[in-house]
Amino acid sequence: MGTRARNSLLPTFGKALAVVLLLVWSLGPIYWALATSFTTPADLVSKVPHFFPPEVTTEHYARLFGGSSVSQGNTVQSVWPEFSAALLNSLLTSLAATILTVAVAAFGAYAFVRLRFPGRDILFILVVATMAIPAYTVMIPLYRLMISLGMIDTYVGITLIYVSAFLPLALWLMRTVYQTLPISLEEAAWLDGAGRIYTLVRIVLPLAAPGLIAAAILTFLNAWGQFIVPLVFSPTLATKPLTVLIPEFVTRNYVDYGLMNAAGILAIIPPVLLVIFLNRYLVSGLMAGAQK
């Protein structure tokens, strides 16, 4: 009996250990960044690593939000003007790309599923196949195109690049969602005299809300975490996002680890809140769809 009990506990212990290792792997870097953001500059450069801040300080966050600090006898100025501008740039470009991508995917995927036109399947395959093209292979021709259009360092240019990159995935996702929806509801609406646009907006899209939310989450997270594209196409603070600004806290003679980690902690708050907020609607939408 004792041997059986031990054998039954082994799988449970293995699962628990796997969960703990996964949590440490996933949340460990976030905790380290959080602890570093509250550590004084003197403790950050000490030879002995500290898993907990020996002396908690908020000077790094104060610099981000408009305050100044004194480090090694020198007054360190606030980076609030740069941080606030980059934060606004990240929000504007990510939200604009998300709204435009989801809107185009909602209508475009519906056309690929319900409309009949020559080359429909081939065109869809070609669009989705662009996801396999590495970004760096089209960076130079895209840069020359954006220069000729005068869209370098503009919100419109950055947004259009994001949409072109994330739209194929959103189209593929929404096409799969539309294919699972019964066409009988649409046919009933057509018999009552409703047009395709009215049917799509009032009947199909509410049923496809979970897919729209999933597409919005994926698009926003991808746009928010972009680095290479804004590094090339956003050379100034006019459109530079947080992902490009934060590495610039590294200077020739000094790496401001505390400021970088404080900015990184603040930068992950918007996408985390968005995922939590939209997940609630995602679950409720799936339950509502199941009840119908």
Distance, in Å, from the CA atom of 262 to the CA atom of 59, rounded to the nearest integer, reads 10
Same domain, 41 and 86: no
Same domain, 23 and 135: no
pLDDT digit string (tens) for the chain, length 292 residues: 455 555 566 677 778 888 888 888 888 889 999 999 999 888 887 777 778 888 888 888 988 887 665 555 555 677 888 999 999 999 999 999 999 999 999 999 999 998 888 888 899 999 999 988 888 888 999 999 999 999 999 999 999 999 999 999 999 999 988 988 888 888 888 888 888 888 888 889 988 888 898 899 889 999 999 999 999 999 999 999 999 999 988 876 778 888 899 999 999 999 888 888 877 665 544 444 444 4
Same domain, 141 and 61: no
Q: Is 134 helix (H, G, I), strand (E, B) or coil?
A: coil
* Count of domains for the chain: 2
Torsion from C-alpha of 25, 28, 30, 36, nearest 10 degrees: -150
Distance, in Å, from the CA atom of 285 to the CA atom of 292, rounded to the nearest integer, reads 11
Same domain, 170 and 281: yes
Which of the listed residues 45, 76, 107 is the one where a domain comes to its end? 76
Same domain, 113 and 139: yes
pLDDT value at residue 288 = 42
Task: Locate 7 and state its tokens.
Answer: 């054998």
Look at phi and psi of residue 211 and say left if phi exceeds 0, alpha if psi is from -120 to 50, else beta: alpha
Same domain, 140 and 232: yes
Which of the listed residues 76, 102, 135 is the one where a domain comes to its end? 76
Task: Locate 202 and state its tokens.
Answer: 């009032």
Task: Locate 24 and state its tokens.
Answer: 């440490």
Place of tokens 């926003």: 220
Q: Is the pTM of this model over 0.85?
A: yes
Same domain, 68 and 86: no
Which of the listed residues 57, 76, 95 is the one where a domain comes to its end? 76
Range of the structural domain that residue 12 is part of: 2-76
Q: Is 151 helix (H, G, I), strand (E, B) or coil?
A: coil
**Which CATH number covers residue 196?**
1.10.3720.10
Amino acid at 267: A
Same domain, 196 and 96: yes
